[in-house]
Structure 1
Amino acid sequence: MKLRLILTSLLVACAFSASEAKDYKYQTVEGDPMHTRIYTLDNGLKVYLSVNKVKPRIQTYIAVRTGSRNDPAETTGLAHYLEHLMFKGTQQFGTSDYQAELPFLNDIERRYEAYRKLTNPLARKRAYHEIDSVSGLAARYNIPNEYDKLMSGIGSEGSNAYTSNDVTCYVENIPANEVDNWAKVQADRFRNMVIRGFHTELEAVYEEYNIGLAQDSRKLFQALMAKLYPTHPYGTQSTIGLGEHLKNPSITNIKNYFNRYYVPNNVAVCMAGDLNPDEVIATIDRYFGSWKKSETLSRPEYAPLPPITAPQDTTVLGQEAENVYLGWRFPAGRELSSDTLDVIGSLLSNGHAGLLDLDLNQKMKVQAAFAGTDAMCDYAGFVVGGMPKQGQTLEEVRALLLQEVDKLKRGEFSDELLPSVINNYKRDFYKSLDDNENRADQFVNAFINGEDWQQHVGKLGRISKMTKAGIVAFANKYLNDNYVCVYKKQGNDTTIRKVEKPAITPIPTNNDKHSAFLQQVLASKPAPIQPQFLDFSKDLTKASTRRGLPVVYKQNTTDGLFTLQFRYPIGTETNPLMDYAAGYLDFLGTDKLSNEQIKQQFYRLACDYSFSQSADMFTVTLSGLNEKLPEALGLLEHLMQNAKADKQAYSQYVDLVLKGRADAKTNQRSNYRALTDYGMYGAYNPTRNIPSEQKLRQGAPEELTALMKNLRNHAQTVLYYGPSALKKLNKLITKEHPTPKQLLKTDASTRRYTLQATPENEVWIAPYDAKNIYMMQLHNQNTGFTPQRMAIIDLFNGYFGGGMNAIVFQELREARGLAYSASARYNRPSRLQDKEYFYTNIITQNDKMMDCVKEFSELLNNTPRRQAGFDLARQNLLKSIASARTTKFDVLTAYMNALRLGIDYNPYKQEYETLQRLTLDDLMNFAKDNIQGKAYRYLILGDEKNLDLKSLEKIASVKRMSTEEIFGY
């Protein structure tokens, strides 16, 4: 569940702006910290613009007010499939000859309409074979991925899209100087979309559907929606759609849907970043202004849902960990009731001092509990959920959750909690202003939910006026027995039916072709953005405390927020117990303060602390309002130095840890991570290097508290970004974080995780019962890394396996429909003495495994030579580096990352200069030296009964690994 972000409240004002020869009216809201301008073009297109010049890039969203809610009942999943097809091009791009291609596209559409009405399996197979044949003829003119080439060419990052109940949204992050090219492409795309490459993209959607079959969280949420909205599309149809509908697609229905909803008066362009609003709106008008509005725009409307008057239960089955959701239905997300729901969500669950946090999570009465709001266009849902401890029933978890809701209704929470919620909203909002994606996301949510911007901006003001009595009254009125309950239990789900693999002839990628439109865009010469590279001698300050601790410092001159970090060279390689000590500390109090009081005080201060451990580092992070830094640091030091070991709490904590381990073994992705860790590092790896159950059971809790207490005695580095002057910071650290003159050094006997060489082909299989497999091909020849190799490595990844325009994606997904997710990467290490390695990664159906192996082998051993692809990859990387800006705390992180590689300078300047000299020959030589003709370790997670073992055995003998072996428990 995602809590909607909030703004301050004030009045709407109108203003005028001139750009070129035309005046554009826009709406603003006084007091809006994002200074949003909202334009409405003559054709009804909404445009939201917000200026943020932190870096010369712009986050762009184009949001269409339609999603699975508007799918025809007989073709569910249509909105989502249309989202995929929007990447296939128009009459101008994605084709070498649209007029020659068009008759075949029309024939394919006609054949699909006939195909979807057939019921005889043999007749359907023959018909699909004919569709495949005609698709091959059409594909002679298709230029797959030309949209991605356009976006890559202008330096866009994060090309993507998403579909939900009410929205389909298209995402690009572009350099600030490419607005004209971006608008030119998008306007053509939204006005003139052409459906091509239909059957191979349908296979990608099949794969996405099959991936979801193994995700119990998706089934759980769909069951909750079905109970909350039983006669509304929110509950009757999922975004991915039904399997039987995916098998029977209709191009005609998709076209009709596109023509109905993809119209300017149903679309918003949302942009935030380094932009000139007057120039940008003129550009958008120039390209989008002639887009004809719909005079008959409408959507299906549904009768109001009858009220829920008594608890309703349902159960779903699956092999992943059990949990339970409770849901209440509320009016539309734009209604003011959502304000109160967001506050109630934080009163119950804020990660620190909510009722669920203090009463259930901190007291370890459940494995985990949460609450939150899901605000949609027609309705909102309020959800409370929990996971059981070992031996606990879902019914018991449900009772505990309801007890906390009842406690809220009785007003049994601290009078300080509501003001703390408000203060944390303020902090989180102002922190979010740094993120252009967050700004643009707020525009999308307001537009899709039909929320007036004045109301959106006024949310924090309204929340600030809420009272405890008002919250309690609201809860008593609405959070009663009018809820639904979904139990997710472990068991065999007999309803799962995967979408079977059809026979598909690969279509050509036509990489030697390009449209005139692509050539025009790539030939344009916008004013270049000059790169700015960090200079560690100027962009940060290196100092030390009075006790000699090294300090890396940068002053925050823009707001009142800080981040303070202590980094210790004590990773899991040195002492994996540190992570458990930090976890245990979260449940303890001190000689002066209870655990509950500590959580409440941190939340009151609007400050957060966290601990994290990697292979070679343990990190303590404190962040929040800088005016509260002294008090927050003192409180954190008090906790770490004075935590009281509690045997009962320790026993309960160990139970939670062991339950979490057991839950991980039921999760597909956790199994894959365990397998790949083993495949990369051998038996001594990050997944397995953990204390055994026996060690945890027999361990003394005082040992863990001592580890946290003694941390300050170890060598460490202090990082700070915030408003405090260095002298003041030095004084504060010396006072609150005293350290001995002689610090403990890192244990010289530390054993590093070491990448295993792959001198010969191997096949390793670990079991997981699912309709798909996860597979990695790993090669490591123990090549050492130097910063001089960054350019060729990053360029190779962009060219070969890193995105939608890369070779792997084109060949495995676009041309053959073999996978929804396919990638490859040559990995450069993040620390000195670690090695480079190469891997492929794919998720596909069991019966497509050998097709994927065969195609990957062909690509690896005969890396395609494509000059146009090389030029695009290099151009994209150069523009990305030129428009990148490292700011705020990230400056300090960049410096520390450089030190881990044994250098004290920023390597990206050298990479930028080297990139301009690299040629396609350099890249092909890199492929020849590093991936061609190499031995690979095949790591496959899947159900052996459904795998082609005979074909795998032709690669190498098969090594079978148990679940217990890859996890180490």
Structure 2
Amino acid sequence: NVAICMAGDFDPDKVVATIDKYFGSWKKSDNVVYPQFPVQKNLTSPASSTVIGKEADNIMMAWKMDGAAALQNDTLEVISSILNNGKAGLLDLNINQPMRCQAAQAFNYAMRDYSQFIIVGMPNEGQSLDEVKSLILAEIEKLKKGEFSDKLLPAIVNNMKLDFLRSLDDNEKRADAYVNTFINGRDWQTEVQKFDRIAAMTKQQIVDFARRHFTDGYAIVYKKQGEDASQKKIDKPSITAIPTNRDMQSAFVKEIKDSKVEPIQPRFLDFKTDFTQTKTKRALPVYYIQNKQNQLFNLAYYFEMGEEANKWLPYAKNYFDYLGTDKMSAKQVQERFYQLACEYNISVSNSNMVISLRGLGDNMQEAMTLMESVINHAKVDRDAYRKFVEQELKSRRDNKLSQKANFRALQQYGEFGAYNSFRNIPDSAELVNTNPQTLVDMIGNLKNYKHSIIYYGPLSEKQLVATIDKNHAVAKSPADVPAGRPYTMQQTPTNEIWIAPYEAKNIYMVQYHNEGQKWNPEDEAKIEVFNEYFGGGMNGVVFQELRESRGLAYSAFANYATPRRKGNPNYAFTYIISQNDKMMDCIRVFSNILDTLPQTPAAFELAKQATIKRIASERITKDDIIYSYLAAKQRGIDYDLRRKVYEQLPTLTLEDIVKFENENMARKPWRYLILGDEKNLDIKALEKIAPIKRISTEDIFGY
């Protein structure tokens, strides 16, 4: 049995008529019934398991709860936030904030038959998993005794409503609400009334519920770092390649392609009219869009500098999470932001830094005052800094155990060389010996630099400027931001093979090519269609040749990438995760399809239409309009590039794509970046391609 769940920019009457036309004759089948499984017994004591693997230690604890349709899950959502809401939950304030373990989080995993309430914990250096378990269980006991603030429950209700209002702006989330309600067997009216039920909950009801359900009947999994001696080797089955039929189409596909539909009309941005530009009394640029839909706001201070200008900025930002002010403790700061249903955040990228505040518009002024107090009057906590450094150093050690982290580090090293975002960090001695006051001053001194104000919210333009002038601390004559040393992508004049070690049954590999080709906006349409045709989704050449036809890869894709900053080059890469003994097969197939691009007119037409429809259906709204303008400006253009691409797409031919690929990717030198266990790789075959450069784990991480 089926539910059709839709959310979007459409005429409901027309959509219902279309659904009636194609699905109106469908009848519910009484033969389709939900399978019945034996009732799972409740645990009466802890059920413990241990898993051994290369990655870092952690524990996971879970309590079995009723299925997702049960009203019990409303209570579990609230309890999840009481324990862990990122700001003022019991785990947040009593474990994460004082750094009593590396991290602890809780969430309710609601499923049709049974739900799981899960808590995950990661230990500090030298801390046992049982010690982490004891910390978690102590917070569960506080929950069961009602040892949490009376202000927390109403704050949770406000924040849940805030999250719900945000979700209404996202079509995927709105449709998912229908989908999840249907598959979980909950009545829609029951779902709609959820917030009324939650708002009526009392603290005593929560405590009584916790006492009944958070018993010793939980499952606990200890994930320990090491080699699993119980692994058994199995014979690899042979796989016969399946011939692809990309040039063929079923009657069903042809019917869809030939159907006449009213085309979706694209909506492009006009950077001259879609937002307003003004200035504060300190001459800070203000980018403004009024929110006429609800009372939510987003406010940001945008600095055109990042870690390239100062490698300490990400660490200063992270340290601030543990600080209070000269008048409030760190705990009080977090609790107050949560009570206001507002949150502030500092984010640092390579070239930009953003201090943002968002939440309920009615509380913006108080939340902004609090944020300014934290930024400009943060109080150093040396004990917190010591713990912060200890956790950072442990995190670095854990990264070396992670296959994905090793691969990301190898990619950065292979594409940018030794000066890259993974390695441009303070070393351990610098971290230990630095005076934390310098990090506090680093954030506090941001008011001395030029920056922009970005706002989307209910205030009028005049009200916003007055609010900024009144509440935002800024120097009388802000200085230019310091120039950074940009990360520079390396060129690949010859074939090279770089191998970094990681013992696993599979390899991660990227082929990277860069010949310093400058980006030309006129090529963007060709690039987007090529990426869709060659390396995109299931219709792409890479997916069909590497996965569908030959079963060579767990994951495979390719991309011709364009820069985000003016003056930076285009580059190409392929990506694959495969078994060790299939590495050379993967390389051969990639070489074949790169040097001789398979040409299938029907698949090309699908790729072109997919690109057209993606652009036509895309809607950039709210402050994303402003960030799109700033991104375009960074690339050296002052218009919505999608318009140019959309206008060029209809005239593109398969021959254009083949020519583009021949000029930019075929028979080019590549740098092969391989993360794997060398003793299980065909090194002799690799040496026939190019000389091998062996790179240590310390090289790629820089520590």
The structural deviation recorded for 1:486 is: 1.4
Q: Structure 1 residues 375 and 530 mapped into 2: Cα distance closer, same or farther (>3 Å)?
A: closer
Contact 2:372 2:473 in 1 (8 A): no
CA shift for structure 1 position 884 = 1.9
CA distance in 2, matches of 1:885, 1:298: 39
Contact in 2 for aligned 1:424/1:603 (Cα 8 Å): yes
Q: CA deviation at 1:869?
A: 2.5
Q: Does 1:916 align with 2:650?
A: yes
Alpha carbons 1:501, 1:847 under 8 Å: kept: no
Q: 1:949 matched to which residue of 2?
A: 683
- Distance in 2 of aligned mates of 1:310 and 1:798: 53
Question: Secondary structure at 1:575's aligned position in 2?
Answer: coil
Instruction: Pick the aligned partner of 2:489 from 755, 759, 781.
Output: 755
2: CA distance between counterparts of 1:497 and 1:524?
Answer: 53
Structure 1 residues 654 and 533: alpha-carbon distance in aligned structure 2, compared to 1, 3 A threshold:
same
CA contact (8 A) 1:570 1:618 kept: yes
Moved more, 676-685 or 375-384: 375-384
Q: Secondary structure at the match of 1:745?
A: coil
Q: Tell me the equivalent position of 1:767.
A: 501
Contact 1:795-1:877 at 8 Å conserved across structures: yes
Q: Which moved more, 1:785-794 or 1:738-747?
A: 738-747
Distance 2:202 2:303 in 1: 44
Deviation sequence 1:911-967 (CA, Å, 0-9, x none): 111222322222222111100110000011111121111111111121111111111
- SS of 1:383's partner is strand
User: What corresponds to 1:547 in structure 2?
Assistant: 282
**How far is 1:483 from its partner?**
1.8
| Superposition pairs of residues 141-290 of structure 1, within 5 angstroms | 265=1, 267-290=2-25
Q: 1:961 is matched with which residue?
A: 695
Q: Distance in 1 between matches of 2:51 and 2:509?
A: 28
Q: Is the 8 A contact 1:498 1:771 kept in 2?
A: no
- Cα distance in structure 2, aligned partners of 1:321 and 1:565: 36
2:533 maps to a residue whose letter is Y
Residue aligning to 1:331: 66
Quote the residue 1:864 is aligned against. 598
Distance 2:551 2:167 in 1: 39
For 2:370 and 2:665, the matched residues in 1 are separated by 53
**Retained in 1: the 8 A contact 2:247–2:603?**
no
**Hey, what does 1:693 align to over in structure 2?**
428
Alignment equivalent of 1:741, drawn from 460, 476, 481: 476
Deviation for aligned residue 1:664:
1.3
Offset of residue 501 of structure 1: 3.8
Task: Say yes or no: does 1:890 pair with 2:624.
Answer: yes
Question: Where does the alignment leave 5 or more consecutive residues of structure 2 unmatched?
Answer: none
CA distance in 2 between counterparts of 1:479 and 1:797 reads 50
User: Secondary structure of the equivalent of 2:406?
Assistant: helix
| Residues 372-381 or 758-767, more deviating | 372-381
1:877-897 CA-partner distances (Å, limit 9, x unpaired):
122222222111111111111
Contact 1:607–1:632 under 8 Å retained in 2:
yes
Matched, 1:471 2:206: yes
For residue 769 of structure 1, report the CA deviation from its aligned partner: 1.7
Q: CA deviation at 1:498?
A: 6.7
Whichever residue aligns with residue 736 of structure 1, its letter is N
Distance (Å, rounded) in 1 between the aligned partners of 2:376 and 2:252: 65
The one of 467, 471, 479 equivalent to 1:732 is 467
Query: Alpha-carbon deviation of 1:500?
Result: 5.0
Cα distance between partner residues in 2 of 1:306 and 1:821: 38
Does 1:707 find its partner at 2:463?
no
Shift of 1:529: 2.3
Write out per-residue CA displacement over residues 697-749 of structure 1, whole angstroms, 9 at most, x where no aligned residue. 0100000000010011112111111111111111111111132232222323x
Q: 2:47–2:219: 8 Å Cα contact kept in structure 1?
A: yes
Aligned mate of 1:557, from 285, 292, 298: 292
Residue equivalent to 2:117: 382
Counterparts in 2 of 1:25-40, with a 5 A limit? none
Cα contact 2:502–2:675 (8 A) shared by 1: yes
**Shift of residue 785 of structure 1?**
1.0
Following superposition of structure 1 onto structure 2, how do residues 603-642 of structure 1 map, counting pairs within 5 Å? 603-642=338-377
User: For 1:235-278, what per-residue CA distance to the aligned partner results, in whole angstroms no more than 9, with x for missing partners?
Assistant: xxxxxxxxxxxxxxxxxxxxxxxxxxxxxx3x322211123444
Instruction: Give 3-state SS (helix, strand or coil) of 2:3's partner.
Output: strand
Q: Is 1:325–1:486's contact at 8 Å kept on the other side of the alignment?
A: yes
Aligned partner of 2:53 among 285, 308, 318: 318
Query: SS at the partner of 1:826?
Result: strand
Residue 289 (structure 1) shift = 4.4
What is the distance in 2 between the residues matched to 1:359 and 1:373?
20
CA positional deviation for 1:282 = 3.8
Q: 1:292 to 1:420 in 2, by over 3 A?
A: closer
Aligned to 2:674: 940
1:225 corresponds in structure 2 to: none
Per-residue deviation at 1:482? 1.9
Aligned: 1:582 with 2:317: yes
How far apart are the structure 1 equivalents of 2:689 and 2:158? 60
The residue matched to 1:272 in structure 2 has which SS? coil
1:819 match: 553
The aligned counterpart of 2:512 is 778
Amino acid paired to 1:417: L
Aligned-partner residue type, residue 419 of structure 2: Y
Structure 2 counterpart of 1:919, one-letter code: T
The answer to whether the Cα contact below 8 Å between 1:329 and 1:379 also exists between their aligned partners in 2 is yes
Label 1:431 to 1:498 Cα distance change in 2 as closer, same or farther (>3 A). Answer: farther
- Of the candidates 348, 360, 363, which is equivalent to residue 98 of structure 2? 363
Partner of 1:172: none
Q: Is the 8 A contact 1:584 1:653 kept in 2?
A: yes
Q: Does the residue aligned with 1:635 lie in a helix, a strand or coil?
A: helix
Closer/same/farther in 2, CA of residues 577 and 307 from structure 1, 3 Å limit: same
> What's 2:455 paired with?
720
> C-alpha distance in 1, partners of 2:400/2:211?
41
Deviation at 1:763, TM superposition (A): 0.7
Give the Cα separation in 2 of the matches to 1:423 and 1:713.
35
Cα drift, residue 503 of structure 1: 2.4
Counterpart-to-counterpart distance in 1, 2:305 and 2:234: 48
**For 1:477 and 1:361, how far apart are their aligned partners in 2?**
26
Q: CA deviation at 1:640?
A: 0.8
Q: What is the identity, as a one-letter code, of the residue corresponding to 2:432? A: R
Q: Please, which of 8, 28, 32 is the counterpart of residue 297 of structure 1?
A: 32
What is the alpha-carbon root mean square deviation over aligned residues? 1.5
Q: 3-state SS of the aligned residue for 1:328? A: strand
Match of 1:678 among 392, 395, 413: 413
CA distance in 2, matches of 1:770, 1:695: 33
Q: How far, CA to CA, are the matches of 1:360 and 1:562 in structure 2?
A: 30
Give the C-alpha shift of residue 497 in structure 1: 4.6
Is contact 1:713-1:743 (8 Å) kept? yes
Question: How far does residue 676 in structure 1 lie from its aligned partner after superposition?
Answer: 0.5
Query: Partner of 2:634 in structure 1?
Result: 900
Which is further off, 669-678 or 734-743? 734-743
Paired with 1:810 and 1:499, the residues of 2 have a C-alpha distance of 27
Amino acid at match of 1:516: A
Q: Over residues 198-217 of structure 1, what are the superposed CA-to-partner deviations in whole Å (9 max), with x where a residue is unaligned? A: xxxxxxxxxxxxxxxxxxxx
- 2:351 and 2:30 map into 1 onto residues whose CA distance is 62
Q: Deviations over 1:545-584 (max 9, x none)?
A: 1110011111111111111111112211110101100111
AA matched with 1:589: G
Q: Which residue of structure 2 lines up, in the alignment, with residue 434 of structure 1?
A: 169
